[in-house]
Structure 1
C-alpha cells in the first residue's frame, strides 16, 4: 500500500470533520471550499482503514451522481494513489475495494425503493454521504434515509454509524438549518467552510471571489463566505414541487410543449427549460432540464440530442445569434432566437405569475433557482424595485423564452 501524508493531500480547515464520529456531520460552504473533495478523500481513506464498512452515496436524482460524487471519489482514489485496489463500475455506478469486497453504492431519491433495499455482502452499511443536500426540500425524505442506516455494530467495535451532508446554503429557511445548525447536540457536527481554507486556489480563482464581493455582495455572502442566504421578495410563489407522470400529463386535452435555452459558459451554466403548458387550466408542468457550465455549442447539441429533444422547437436567448446558427447547423433545426422587446422580462414574469407551476422533483436546478429568484433592491434606498436580480435566473430566463409564443399567441404541439 502507498504511504501518503494526509496533511499534504487534504490540506487545512477540516480537522474536526476528519475526527468526528457522531451520527450527523453537516458541512455548508461554497463550491470552492473543498467540502466535496475532502469528503471523498475521507471515505476512501476510511474504507481502507475499516474493513467492515460500506458507504451509500445519495443525491436527489440518480443521474446527477456520475458527474459529481462518483467523479469526486474516482479523483480521491487517484489522488491517494490506490487505483490498483479499487474496481470502478459505471453501469450501474459502484466502486468496490478489491481486497475485502467493500462497496460504495450510489442511489437517487427518485427511486426510493432502491435506497431502502440495499443489502451489503461484506460488513455493514454504516456510512452515508448526502451530497448537495440542499436539493432535499422535504425533511421526511431525509428521515427515510436516516432510518436506513441502522443495526448493531457490536461485531465491529471500532466502526460507527454516520451520515454526512454537504451543501450550498442558499436559503436560511431550509429545514437543514433548524435541524442541524440551530440545535445543540453531541451527535451533530455542523460546520461552515469557505474558499479561504482552500490553499489550492490560484490567483484567477481568488479573483472571482474578490470581484463577486464587490459586484454581488449578496451572492458573495453565500457562495463566498458560506453563510446562509436570506431570501425575501420571491418573484414566483405560485409553484409546487410534485411528482407527476409525463405520459399522463401529455393526455390532457390541449397540452402543448415549451422548450427554452439560455446560454452560458465559464461562470454561468447553459440551461434548457422543458415544460408542458395546460393553458385552459393555467398550469405549467416543468418535467426536465439541462444545466451545465463550460458547454460548447457541440456539447449543448449532444446533450439535447441525448435527452431526446433535438426535434422540438426551442426558443433560445437571441443575444447569441452565432450560437443559434451553429446549433441549427448541428441539427437543432427548429431552434430560433427569442423576440425580446421593451419590458419583455417583466411582461413574461407577469404572464407566468398567472399560472400554477408544477415542478417535477428531478428538476433540482429549477427548484433551486425559483426558490432564490427575487426582486432586486435599490442599493441607495434598500427598497425592492420592479426588476429581478441578475442571479438564479438561467432557467427562469429559459422559461420565459419558452413561453414567448404563448404570450404572443404563437403556439405549437408536442410531437
Structure 2
C-alpha cells in the first residue's frame, strides 16, 4: 500500500493507461514531469516491464529524470523495491522491471534495446522528429500493451510536436485544436491522451514562484506564454506581422478590383533539402497591398523536369526574376523558352529586400498557397548569442520569401513604378 498526496489535476492521469500515446504539455513548475515519473514507477511496481526514458542529450538525465526518480523512491520509502544504479544509468526493480535512460545523441545504443513496452520522452520538443519516429519503431513487446508518454514545455508552432499532435499546415493534417485543449485541460483524440497544465495546477509550489512567472508578462511575452500559460505560439518577433490569408476566390476578387495591378513572378532555386519555389504576385500600388495568389514548391527536381512542370509560364512569356546565384539554371530555362532574368544580389541585399516586403501595409495570401502560408505566417527573426535580432536571418530558410524578393527586385514599395519594358497586362487568365 502506497499513500501519496498528489495534485488533483494529475490524479486521473496517474492511472490512465487506456491510450497508446499520452502527450503532456504545460508551463514551468506544473509538475507534469514529477507525476509522469511517479506514474511509471507505480506501473512497473505492479507489472514486470522494461521502460525507456529518453532525452535528446544523455548527460542531462542524471540531474533531471534520474534524480526525479531517486527523489520519489526516497520519498515513498521504496529503496527495497527499486534500486538506482549509476553505471549504466538505470533503475532495477525487485520484481524484474527495469528503467533504462538513453540519449538521442547516441542513437546507436538504442539498437541493443529490446522488448520495450513503455517509453517516456522528456522535453520531447528537443528531440528531432526523425528520432521520435525511430522510437516508435523501438516500442514493441510480444505480450504487453504499448505506451509512449511525451512531456514538454510548449515551443513554437513550427516545432514537430505541434505539427504531429495538433496540426500540420504544410501536409494538411489536422488532429486537434490546441485552444480546445487549453479550455478542457484533458482530451482523448483517437489513441492519444492530451493533458495541459500550468503552475496553478501544482499546489505544492510556493506563491512567490507563481508571482515570478507572472512578472514575465511585463518584459518577455513569449516566455510568459510558454512558462506561465503553457501554450504554443509564435516564438520571437514576426517578420511579416501584416501577413493574412484569404480564400482563393476572395483573393482573386480583390486582385480583379485593383485599378492598375502590377504582376510579378519570382523564383528561388533548390534541390536536395532546399526547394524550387516560384511565387506569382499582384501588387496594388495605391493601397500598397501585396497579393500572393500562386505558388510552385518542390525539391529534388532537375531543371528539365521543373521546366516541364512550369511550361505554362513559358507559353505566357511571363518575366521570371530568379536567383542570380544559379546562372546555369537561368541559362537553361532561357534556352527552353522562358523569359527568365537574374535578380540583383549585392552586399546587404537580403536586408534591403526584407525591408521592402515589410513596407507593404498588407500581405494577402491565397489559401491555395500552403507553403507560403507555412513559411511566412509565423516567420520570425533569428537572434545572436546575446539575444539581439538579426534583421536578415530567420529561424527557418523561407524559400517563398526569397522568391518574393526576386519578384520585387526592381521595385520600391514607396511608388512601385513599373519599368515600361517589363509591363505585365492585368489579365485574369494569368491567375487561374
Q: Please report the TM-score for the alignment, with normalisation by the length of structure 1.
A: 0.52
Residues 84-143 of structure 1: CA distance to partner in whole angstroms, max 9, x if unpaired?
Answer: 22221112211101x222211111111112113213xxxx42000101101023x22111
Q: Which residue is 2:268 aligned to?
A: none
Q: Give yes or no for contact 1:96–1:104 (8 Å, CA) kept in 2.
A: yes
Match of 2:228 among 224, 227, 230: 224
Q: Is 1:5 aligned to residue 41 of structure 2? A: no
Per the TM alignment, residue 231 of structure 1 is displaced from its structure 2 partner at its CA by: 2.8
Aligned length: 234
Query: In terms of Rg, which structure is larger?
Result: 2
What is the CA-CA distance between 1:31 and the residue it aligns to?
2.4
The 5 A counterparts of 1:133-152 are 133-137=124-128, 139-152=129-142
Q: Within 5 Å, which residues of 2 pair with 1:229-308?
A: 229-231=233-235, 233=237
- Distance across 1 between alignment mates of 2:225 and 2:46: 37
2:96 corresponds to 1:105: no
Unaligned 5+ residue runs, structure 1? Answer: 154-158, 236-241, 243-349, 351-371, 376-387, 398-415
SS in 1 for 2:52: strand
**SS of match in other structure, 1:105:** strand
CA RMSD of aligned residues (A): 2.9
Q: Distance in 2 between matches of 1:129 and 1:5?
A: 24
Displacement after TM superposition at 1:214 (Å): 3.5
How far does the alpha carbon of each residue in 1:345-382 deviate from its partner, in whole angstroms, 9 at most, with x for none? xxxxx9xxxxxxxxxxxxxxxxxxxxx9966xxxxxxx
Q: Aligned to 2:190, what secondary structure does the other structure show?
A: coil
**Do the aligned residues in 1 keep the contact of 2:118 with 2:148 (CA within 8 Å)?**
yes
State whether structure 2 residue 114 is matched by structure 1 residue 132: no
Once the two structures are TM-superposed, the CA of residue 11 in structure 1 deviates from its matched residue by 1.6
3-state SS of 1:89 partner? strand
Q: 1:394 to 1:191 in 2, by over 3 A?
A: farther
| CA distance 1:77–1:181, shift in 2 (3 Å) | farther
Partner of 2:332: none
CA-to-aligned-CA distance 1:142-171 (integer Å, 9 cap, x gap): 111011011321xxxxx4210111111111
| Match for residue 91 of structure 2 among 91, 95, 98 | 95
Match of residue 34 from structure 1 = 31
Task: Report Cα offsets for 1:187-242 as digits up to 9, x if no partner.
Answer: 1112221101000011211221221233433321111010003135479xxxxxx9
- Provide the rounded CA distance (Å) in 1 between the counterparts of 2:387 and 2:220: 19
TM-score between the two structures when normalised by the length of structure 2:
0.50
Structure 2 partner of 1:322:
none
